Structure 1
């Protein structure tokens, strides 16, 4: 896990919109998109269409606007984050 992944996971203990993660991590939007994509592919983060986090969106179904979604660390992601 690199430092950017660690910082993003640190912000995702609760469901968060893209803009809140952007503000907390102070990453550039392009960097955050890349890190979220990597974390989604690792299974360390889930993506949702709304804050209630009822039905996760599969990474392949995301589309081109990751800023319109909400994100939450998975159990595996939290274990990786805390084990660092």
Structure 2
């Protein structure tokens, strides 16, 4: 897990909006977007349409809708984050 991924994962213990993550991490938007995409690809985070409705990975239009999604760590992500 990279330092950037670790920093983002710190904020994903609870459902977060993209804007809340931007404010909490102080990362540039492009870096946060890239980091979230990497975490999702690794299965360490997931996208949600709302606070409770997950978006299937193959159904996300991440490139254009990433600001509209909510984000949450997966069980695998929490284990990876806590094993460092």
TM-score, normalised by the number of residues in structure 1: 0.92
Alignment match, 1:49 = 49
Please, which runs of 5 or more residues in structure 1 have no aligned partner? none
- The CA deviation at 1:59 is 2.9
| C-alpha distance in 2 between matches for 1:5 and 1:71 | 13
| C-alpha distance in 2 between matches for 1:31 and 1:60 | 22
Alignment RMSD, CA only?
A: 0.9
| C-alpha distance in 2 between matches for 1:58 and 1:28 | 26
Alignment match, 2:17 = 17
- The CA deviation at 1:40 is 0.4
TM-score, normalised by the number of residues in structure 2: 0.92
Q: Secondary structure at the match of 1:57?
A: coil
| Moved >3 Å (runs of 4+) | none
* Paired residue total: 82
